[in-house]
Amino acid sequence: MLEDTYKVKGMSCAACSARVERVVGKIDGIVSASVNLATEKLTIFYDENVVTVKIIKDAIDDAGYKLIEKKVPHEDDKESNNTKIKIMWIKFAISALFSIPLIYISMGSMLGFPLPIALDPMHNGIAFALTQLLLTIPIIVVGYKFYTVGIKALIKRSPNMDSLVAIGTAAAIIYSIYSFIRIVTGDAMAAHDNHLYFETAGVIITLILLGKTLEAISKNKTFDAIRKLMELAPKTANVLRDGVEIKLPIGELLIDDLVIVRPGEKIPMDGIVIEGHSAIDEAMLTGESMPIEKKDGDNVYAASINKNGLLKVKVTKLSDQTILSQIIKLVEDAQNAKAPIANIADTVSGYFVPIVFCIALVTFAGWLIGGYSMEFALSMFIAVLVIACPCALGLATPTAIMVGTGVGARNGILIKGGDALEMAHKIRTIVFDKTGTITVGKPALTDIITIAEYDENELLQVAASAEKGSEHPLGEAIVRKAFEKNVELKALEYFESITGLGVSTKVDGKKVFIGNSKLMEKEGINIHALEIEASKLARDGKTPMFIAINGSFAGIIAVADVVKESSKKAIEMLTNMGIEAIMVTGDNEGTAKAIAREVGISNVIAEVLPGEKAELIKKLQADGKKVAMVGDGINDAPALTQADIGIAIGTGTDVAMESADIVLMRSDLIDVLDALRLSRATIRNIKQNLCWAFGYNIIGIPIAAGVLYLSNAVLLNPMIAAAAMSFSSISVLGNALRLKFFKKKSHLVDKKA
C-alpha cells in the first residue's frame, strides 16, 4: 500500500472536489481518496499492485480536471500563485473597464442620466442594443473559463459553480440577443421595455472575477506558514574543506562537513558544536523567545540564528532530514488532511449544484405559470443560479485548518492532521508522565545542609571532588553545581564505587564517604543529628546523600529531578479550563506525590511499568473520557498511541514524536494548554464558517427565488446576487485568517515572569 499526494488543477468549488473524490474512489485498488480544495491537493491511499498513477490520472482527466504528476516545489508554487493573481487582476480590470459604460448605457435613461441621441433607446434602439452587445463581448472573452469549465462539467454530469455562472449569464445573453434580433426586425418596444440583459451578464462576470481574485489573494495568505518555514533555511554555508573556508550551496553539504557560523548568520544544517560558544535564537523552530546558550557538544538546528559568538559546527543531518524539514513535512501533511467535521460539507457539496439547478428551473417555471413575464422569470432564474455558493462550503474547513496548523507551527506546536486538531478540542482528561515532562528530566542539586565546622561551599567542594570520577546522574548533578558556582575541585588519591550504597574516596588527604543511610550505617557513622531534615527532604521528593569526612558526619547534599518553572502554572490553567490532570510515573510513590503536590495534581499513579501506562489510558477511555497523554520518552510511546491525542514534548525522543498526534517543540507544559486552545479556536472557526456557508445558501437561495416578493414585493437583482455570492467565499476566508491573531498563553506568562 502506498500514500501519495498530487496537485489537481481545474477545481473551482466544493462540487468539483467532491466529484474528484468520487471518481478516484471508484477505481479498483483505491483504499481512500481525499481532496483539499484550498490546497488543490489529492491525497490517495492505494494498492500499487492494482492501480497505477496513469489510471488515476486518466480518470481525473476524463472527469474534466488535470492531475499534476510531478510534485511542484514551494518556490514554483509561490511564483505560480503570484502570476495567477496578476492575471486575475488584469482580467477583472478589463471586465470592469467594459462593464462601467455598459451599466451606464443600459440603465442611464432609467436613472435620469443623459445619453447621446445616437444611443438613446427611444431614438435609436438598434445602436442602443448593439453597443451593449459589443461591450459585453470582451467581458465574456476574459471570463471564458466560466463557460469552458462550466459547460464541460455539465456534459460530464458533474455541474459546479462555474456551471451555475455559465448557465445564468448565458441565459441572460441569449435572451438579450433574441431581443436584439426583435429590435433589428422592427420591434422597437423590445428596446423601450428594457428586454436587454447584457449588463446583468457583464456585471455578474465582473463581480465574480473580482470575488475570485480576492478569494485567491486570501487563499494565498493561508499558505504563508509553509512559505515562511521554507524561507527560513539559508541558501549557502561557509564550509571548511581541506583546511580552506569556501562558500557552498547548502545542497552540496555532506555529513561530517565542518561549517563556520559567524554572529548574525543562520545555522545551515542540523549539527553539533565542536568549537565555540554562543547564544542561539531558535524562536522560528520552537517559539521560544529567549536565545539558548550553546557550547561544545551541544546540538544546533538549521535556520536558527547565531547571535554573538563564532561557532564551528559538524553537520549531522542533511536538508531533507533536519528538524526544519520535518516541521515543514508535518505542517504540509496536516494542511492536506481533512478533519472529520469536513464530512458534513463534503456530503452536501456532492448534491448541492444539481439541487440548485432544480430550484432555479422550478423558480423559472413557477413564475411563468403564475402569470409573470418571461423577463421576470428569467431574472429570478439567474439570481438563484448566481447566488448559490458551493465555494464557501468547500473552503470552510480546509482554510481554517491551514491557518490553524500554520499558526501552531509558528509557535512551536506541530499538529499532525485535521483529525488531531478536531479531537484535541474534545479533551477533558490529560495524563502526564512525570520525568522529563512535568520535571526537567535530569537531577539537580537542591539543598546543602552542614554540621560542625564545614560551610556549604566547603561541603560542595569535597562532594564534587569526590564525585567527579562518578558516572552516576546524582554525582553528575553535584559536579555540575560546583562548576556553576566556580568551586575549585581537589585532586583524588583513589575512587571506589560501592554498588547500591555510594562512593568511597580520598580528597585532599581526607577520607570521604558519600552515599545513602545504609553506607553510613555500614561504616559506623552516626547521622542522627540530621535525620529529621533527611526525612523532610525525602518527603519532598528529593534524594538525600550523606557525607562523612574522616569518619565524622559532615552534612547532607540533596539532589532531585526538579519541576519545570512553568509546570505548576500550566496545571493551574488547565484546571481552570475544566481539564482533569493525572500524573503517572514509574517512580516511587513518595517522590511522585511530592512532585504532584508541588504542581497541584491530586490524582497520582506511581510505580507504573511502561506497558501499564497504555492500560491506564484504556481504562479512562472505557469510562467514556477523551484522554490526552503527554510524554517524552520511549516508554511513553505505547500510551501516546493509545490516547485519543498523544502529545510529545519536542525535546524528547524521536520515537515519542513519531507516536504523537501533536508535537511541542518547547519543553514547556503551557504549550499543552496552547495546543488545546488553538484546537478549540480552530474548530470554533470552522463551525462559524460552516454556519455562514450553510446559512447564506439556506437564506439567500429562497430570497433569490422571490419568496419575499410574494409578501412585500422585494426582489433580488441578479447583479446583487453575484456580489453576495462573491462576498460569501471571501467572508469564509477572511474569518479563517483571523486565526493568525491567536496569542499563546506562554507569551503572557513569560512577560509576567
Q: What are the strands, taking DSSP E only, across 638-724?
A: 645-649, 662-664
DSSP state of 491: P
DSSP state of 266: B
- Cα-to-chain-centroid distance, residue 414: 7
Q: Which residues pair with 43 in a beta bridge?
A: 5, 34
Interior angle at CA 681, CA 676 and CA 682, nearest 5: 100
Q: Which three cell numbers stand for residue 654?
A: 524521536
Burial class (CB in 10 A: 0-12, 13-18, 19+), 113: exposed
CA distance 541 to 531: 16
Per DSSP, helices labelled H in 370-389 are 374-387
Q: Which three cell numbers stand for residue 110?
A: 432609467
CA distance 405 to 525: 61
**Any residues with CB less than 8 A from the CB of 76 and at least 6 apart, and which?**
none
Location of C-alpha cell 465582473: 206
Alpha-carbon distance values, 341 to 101, 346, 350 (Å): 46, 9, 16
Q: Which three cell numbers stand for residue 531?
A: 535525620
- 433 given a catalytic annotation: yes
With CA atoms as reference, report the closest residue to 671 among 491, 411, 314. 411
Asked if 353 contacts 163 with a C-beta cutoff of 8 angstroms, the reply is yes
Q: In what order do the strands lie in the sheet with 603-605?
A: 413-415, 662-664, 645-649, 627-631, 429-433, 580-584, 603-605
Catalytic residue among 77, 346, 419, 433: 433
Asked if 704 contacts 188 with a C-beta cutoff of 8 angstroms, the reply is no
With CA atoms as reference, report the closest residue to 7 among 84, 85, 75, 73. 73
DSSP state of 490: P
Count of all residues that appear for the chain in the document: 753
Q: What is the dihedral of CA 6, 7, 11, 17, to 10 degrees?
A: 30
Q: What is residue 592's three-state secondary structure?
A: helix
Q: What is the dihedral of CA 624, 626, 630, 631, to 10 degrees?
A: 50
**Residue type for position 240:** L
**Residue type for position 337:** A
Catalytic site positions = 433
